[in-house]
Amino acid sequence: MLHAPGTLTVFLNARILTLDPRRPTAAAMAVQDGLILAVGTQEEMLALAGPEAALVDLQGQVVLPGFHDSHMHLLSWGLTMDGVQLTGVRSMRELIAEGQAYIRDNPGRQWIIGRGFSDEVFTPRRLPTREDLDQISTVHPIIFTRVCGHICSVNSRALELAGINGETADPAGGRIDRDPATGQPTGVLRENAMDLVTRLLPSPTVEDYKRAICRAGTEAAALGLTTVQTNDLHGASGLQDRLQAYLDLDQAGQLPLRIILQASTPTLEDLRAYAEIYRSCQPGAQLKLGPVKLYADGSLGGRTAALSLPYADAPETDGVLIYQQAELDALVCTAAEYDLQVAVHAIGDAALDQVLNSCERARERHPNWSWRPRVIHAQITRYDQLERMARLGVVADIQPIFVPTDLHFVERRVGATLAQYAYAWKTMQRLGIRTAGGSDCPVEPCNPLAGLHAALTRQDGTGYPPGGWQPQERLTIEEALQLFSSGPAYAAHEEHLKGTLSPGKLADFVVLPADPAALDPWELLDLKVSAAYVGGLQMSP
């Protein structure tokens, strides 16, 4: 639905939930030049509308601020759509069969790339090895990435091409799994060890990236997302083509939603390169550059999240810290020097200790830093750390959609002591920690309505456990809606533009057939988005 620039559009006959406490509900909204001009009664908005105004009858539907995902991987999601789809496999046999079928259906593929399996649902629970993947092919190199994105399994051909053998040393911040009897690599690579193989993959072109962005972005918009913060820029070497793809799409008006890019900068060289681009790159119509993204540890599923205690189900390890404290300090302090926001992946409590130390030191050395550092995930936390986060003003980027999967293994994995304040969303809010909701897609689906359901119930898809896992950490519907609206806006320094339907803010909103607050939480899983608007223009369906 397109209107000429300057046209005043009035959206009528709606139940508008503004999430603005100054005027929480309205029946109509006036939009002009991509901004909200006013909200109020139907009579008030019609009085604003001259004879040239466009009128849109929403037929009694519910309007909310557009959903906002604070952390995902949009481009990676789009690229995985062309690979082996492993999300639904329930056994090693199914995984092997999917790989074999993919080769039959895609005879021209050189590398066989898949993502999405979880060994937690396999019997027995174990990661695929080179021997398993060799049953798919010994001719094609194969790389299958676990759902978490922090572990991959490769076949013998991929190990050969990468030069990985029994003599290969573990890279810093990574681990090569080895057969204890022979010392030879099993084919399982963790964290930075994955780079030994992934750096051999053919590089997509700018056009490949653009197709992937549009494909994933269109699906995200159909779910009611009007902004996503996406970690799609990787290091100095992999930054230019990906950024160019986004710039081209924005300049052509082809982005189906707003994009805030996060940039992984694992080295000081990468960080400084991004800082120069950040300084020179002007925000576009629907695109802006966002924070530096750092990784402090790995994942719970792969037992690479860094814990202060040994893993309860693997006491020989306490996870992987990607950096020494001094190395992380240098990265965060350099970001502060350039006045760049930092968003640091930290799942385990040992990693969170490191991150909070680095942020505190950076603020001491650079008191004029714009601040608002972010911890992405913050899954295994201690109460003293949550108090410290609140005191420092650190934002927590949380993913409620993780809980339906993770609740089945968290306590078994980390033990009762560390599980006590795991995924502690209500405690965070009670302490005053600002929280922003996301999905980490493609780790989990980016459906915000499923995220709301998880935040409200803390149950899996069968309703287990009754009452929810650690039910004291469940959120109210008001708190959950803010997770996917005003929370991410604050995290991105955009609370003046997004998060509520208030005069002067961007006209980004979602239309639903029913009020989420009036539904049983389980009905949210069946609720379908009627339309998503960005700048007052309908982007989906």
469-503 pLDDT, tens digit each: 999 999 999 999 999 999 999 999 999 999 999 99
- Which pLDDT score is estimated for 283? 84
Q: What is the pLDDT of residue 52?
A: 86
The verdict on residue 309 lying in a domain is yes
Residue 291 near residue 262, CB atoms below 8 Å: yes
Residue-number span of the structural domain to which 390 is assigned: 266-496
60-74 residue pLDDT tens: 999 999 999 999 999
Whether 509 has a pLDDT exceeding 50, the answer reads: yes
Residue 345 shares a structural domain with residue 455: yes
187 and 279 share one domain: no
- Terminal-to-terminal C-alpha distance of the chain: 11
Q: How does pLDDT run across 215-265, given as a tens digit for each residue?
A: 999 999 999 999 999 999 987 666 889 999 999 999 999 999 999 999 999
**Residue 167, domain member (yes or no):** yes
Domain of 428: which CATH number?
Answer: 3.20.20.140
541 found inside a domain? no
Asked which of 11-15, 63-67, 369-373, 435-439 is least confident by mean pLDDT, the reply is 369-373
Q: Where is average pLDDT lowest: 1-5, 142-146, 391-395, 535-539? A: 1-5
Counting residues of the chain whose pLDDT is more than 90, the rounded percentage is 92
Alpha-carbon distance of 124 to 127, in angstroms, equals 9
Going from the C-alpha of 536 to that of each of 2, 327, 511, 529, the distances in angstroms are 9, 45, 12, 16
Considering the chain, what percentage of its residues have pLDDT values greater than 70? 99
Question: What's 496's DSSP letter?
Answer: T
Indicate if 273 and 186 belong to the same structural domain: no
User: Is 450 part of any domain?
Assistant: yes
Mean pLDDT of the chain: 95
Q: Is residue 390 part of a domain?
A: yes
- Both 270 and 170 in one domain: the answer is no
Q: For the beta carbon of residue 433, count every other beta carbon within 10 angstroms.
A: 23
**Has residue 195 got a pLDDT over 90?**
yes
Write down the pLDDT at residue 236.
Answer: 66
92 sits in which H/E element = helix 92-105
Residues 276 and 183 in one domain: no
Q: Looking at the predicted structure, is the pLDDT value of residue 156 above 70?
A: yes
| Pair (318, 437) in one structural domain | yes
What was the pLDDT predicted at 211? 97
Provide the CATH number for the domain around residue 178. Answer: 3.10.310.70
Residue 74 vs residues 37, 123, 219, 438: alpha-carbon distances, Å: 31, 31, 10, 12
For residues 325 and 183, membership in a common domain is answered with no
Q: Is 279 a member of any domain? A: yes
Q: For 272-283, what is the mean pLDDT?
A: 92
Side-chain-facing half-sphere of 382: CA atoms under 13 Å: 16
Q: Show the DSSP H helices in 421-485 as ranges.
A: 425-431, 448-457, 477-483
Contacts of 158 (CB under 8 A, 6+ apart): 141, 142, 143, 187, 197, 200
Domains of the chain: total = 2
Q: What is the pLDDT of residue 541?
A: 80
Q: Look at strands 395-398 and 225-234 and give their pairing.
A: unpaired
345 part of a folded domain: yes
Give the pLDDT band (50/70/90) at residue 145.
very high
- Rounded CA-CA distance 340/333 in Å is 10
- To the nearest 10 degrees (0 to 180), the angle between helices 240-251 and 206-222 is 60
Residues 373 and 470 in one domain: yes
SS3 of 154, please? strand
The reply to whether 21 falls in a domain is no
* pLDDT value of position 20: 97
Residue 194 and residue 271 share a domain: no
The arithmetic mean of pLDDT across residues 35-49, rounded, is 95
% helix, strand, coil for the chain, step of 5: 35, 25, 40
pLDDT score at 377: 98
**Residue 280 and residue 423 share a domain:** yes
pLDDT at residue 148 in the model:
86
What are the beta bridge partners of residue 185?
Answer: 178
pLDDT digits (tens, 9 = 90+) for 405-447: 999 999 999 999 999 999 999 999 999 999 999 999 999 999 9
Domain boundary among 198, 215, 245: 198
Same domain? For 414 and 308 the reply is: yes
pLDDT value at position 420?
A: 96
What pLDDT is recorded for position 2?
Answer: 46
pLDDT over threshold 80, residue 5: no
1 pLDDT above the threshold of 50: no
- DSSP-derived 3-state class of residue 343: strand
- Residue 470: Cβ within 10 Å count: 22
For residues 189 and 280, membership in a common domain is answered with: no
| Domain finish residue from 459, 476, 496 | 496
pTM of the predicted model, to two decimals?
Answer: 0.92
Residue at a domain's end among 179, 198, 217: 198
CA 230/CA 37 separation, integer angstroms: 29
